[in-house]
Structure 1
């Protein structure tokens, strides 16, 4: 297999995670790393053995030996740097969410199409064994006609920076555009949109909150102006619906896992409660009896890898990206899924602002570029 040469822009927390994942892949080689923080850049490059470093991303994307560029920066930097890399003739892997606004995400998709390059977005839940299992059940008709999904994400107190994790940039609209919905909700919402077959959004309603007490000094330092809790309801063309609750902080000990139901069966994904993690489960009727079932997903995963071709190409977002660049598999439409995910989140924000349900056309019309000018 061809070894894929990657350049990473961003040597912070997310960039290091990507480096750790690439280090596990024989088909990937990170040859260049960029960050404006020179000390952080030096230490990270030394730790992971990256031979070439830059403090200006423009120099990195001009390297002719790169197969792809991986953008690991804050949300409102995704669009300008991704578009610049696409214009430089590079395939691009971008961290979630796709951008800080639907308008910026659409510009990224348009640029990828214009320059004939692949745009891949980090939606890690698409590669969970539970997602693969649910997709198999759906494709084999075990859920029947799909009609409703529920997206649930829980942290008791897990707000970035103010609760001790990550950096203050996650809490600022100027850098991140949104809070819990953009940071964590993107994973579950995109997972369900993918499994539902990407239905077209009709209307969105929702509300956001910032109510749980936090350390006032850290609030001031961080400029915390995003939501810690987002709730929403989405209507799709064809009758499908989706309800959402995503919490960075809430006075509850856990939520049941996300779920997806059809007229002959339903699935529930793992959830976190004070009693521990609940398993992936399937629910149906058999011989006029209600049945709840779990699966040996570990052995299924082992067997699928042993018997099916290119199963490893779906082990993680990085595995999939490298396999697509090698030409072994077709890239999943992660950019399109990510764009629809941000449409839903932005619709919740607009609904909250207008205090009513909003249409998809209203959300698209109101979306403005939030990209940081470079």
Structure 2
């Protein structure tokens, strides 16, 4: 690999997320999308034409053996992330995985170990962290505008949005969990990123499944299944109270189906000098979102609305990943940050199951 030769890139997974990664490699100045992999041959052929890819594969082993890849994105069901990532890392290929990193922290730790023993980059695509409102708020925090942040709330709630009732999304062995694992991980990542990556010492959580087991709450256009479906094994609402090592508190809420006025993503931060509220997805904020910082100016209540840069999305994740690979710097890019997210999620599910507060732990990395 060199700065003048494009990275040979592949994508495993042909769904929406995989296609976002394909587009990201097309837009990256230092990468070339050379291969895609998936079980749906007709879909692979169509996407190969759409993205100008010459090589298509059904099996990951064939892709890793024959495509001569430098980097690969993995956009498959959660339970497949680890075996595919470990195989790629052991083959000397740098990996960008879709979120969450894995179905639990123990499995994620095996991915981190593979990245370390092969001196390869392992990153996870948290595309919502690249939103303009998040970038602007992070800059305000780094500039000291909020002072010491002691309390934070973050959530992604849906009125009706269970993704694929009866598919891998709603089976615990393939998904690892419900909305807390699927979309809550975005808000966990975003909040900890904004807070400066404090450690999480303990979690007290609860989960509910009031819609999915009755065949309700499916994404728009879904007509429902018979009541009492056996294909729904996860929650449709989760809430978690997280104690931070710096004395602060983080509360996270995630739902696929809930009696709320509308879908909404939000982060609220409360600091010693100012507070902040960002949101997107509501009828008023739109997809671009809005950010308000609440403070005082000369003793009078004031609101500051920073200028919002453009959203980054998956293309920004892919570009940053390629830059990391070419930089040669392997410090902190082995998936260990995402392992901390997995540990928090494990603790939340354990707390909900045991109905008590649970201390967070990190598995040993071999």
Determine if the TM-score, normalized by the shorter chain, exceeds 0.5: yes
Measure how far apart 1:325 and its partner are.
Answer: 2.6
SS at match of 2:266: coil
Q: How many residues align?
A: 349
Residue 182 (structure 1) aligned with residue 181 (structure 2):
yes
More helix by share: 1
Question: Structure 2 CA distance, aligned partners of 1:250 and 1:5?
Answer: 43
Correspondence for 1:263: 272
Change (3 A) 1:21 1:313: closer
Residue 286 (structure 1) aligned with residue 294 (structure 2):
no
Deviates more, 1:23-32 or 1:107-116: 23-32
Question: Structure 2 CA distance, aligned partners of 1:288 and 1:227?
Answer: 46
Correspondence for 1:307: none
Residue 233 (structure 1) aligned with residue 241 (structure 2):
yes
CA-to-aligned-CA distance 1:86-127 (integer Å, 9 cap, x gap): 111111111100001111111111111111000010111222
- Unmatched runs of 5 consecutive residues or more in structure 1: 303-311, 368-374
Correspondence for 2:220: none
**Equivalent residue runs for 1:1-374 within 5 Å:** 1-63=4-66, 65-162=68-165, 168-212=167-211, 214=216, 217=225, 223-254=231-262, 255=264, 257-277=266-286, 279-298=290-309, 316-327=316-327, 333=333, 335-361=335-361, 364=362
Paired residues of 2:155 and 2:253 also in contact (CA < 8 A): yes
Measure how far apart 1:84 and its partner are.
Answer: 0.9
Measure how far apart 1:209 and its partner are.
Answer: 0.9
Correspondence for 1:371: none
Question: Structure 1 CA distance, aligned partners of 2:227 and 2:345?
Answer: 23
Paired residues of 1:324 and 1:331 also in contact (CA < 8 A): no
Paired residues of 1:323 and 1:329 also in contact (CA < 8 A): no
Change (3 A) 1:61 1:220: farther
CA-to-aligned-CA distance 1:117-147 (integer Å, 9 cap, x gap): 0001011122222222122112211111121
Question: RMSD of aligned C-alpha atoms?
Answer: 2.7
Paired residues of 2:187 and 2:252 also in contact (CA < 8 A): no
- Unmatched runs of 5 consecutive residues or more in structure 2: 217-222
Question: Structure 1 CA distance, aligned partners of 2:314 and 2:21?
Answer: 16
Question: Structure 1 CA distance, aligned partners of 2:196 and 2:54?
Answer: 42
Measure how far apart 1:275 and its partner are.
Answer: 4.5
TM-score (norm 1): 0.85
Question: Structure 1 CA distance, aligned partners of 2:207 and 2:92?
Answer: 39
Question: Structure 1 CA distance, aligned partners of 2:46 and 2:105?
Answer: 35
Question: Structure 1 CA distance, aligned partners of 2:319 and 2:260?
Answer: 36
TM-score (norm 2): 0.87
Paired residues of 1:35 and 1:54 also in contact (CA < 8 A): yes
Question: Structure 1 CA distance, aligned partners of 2:254 and 2:209?
Answer: 12
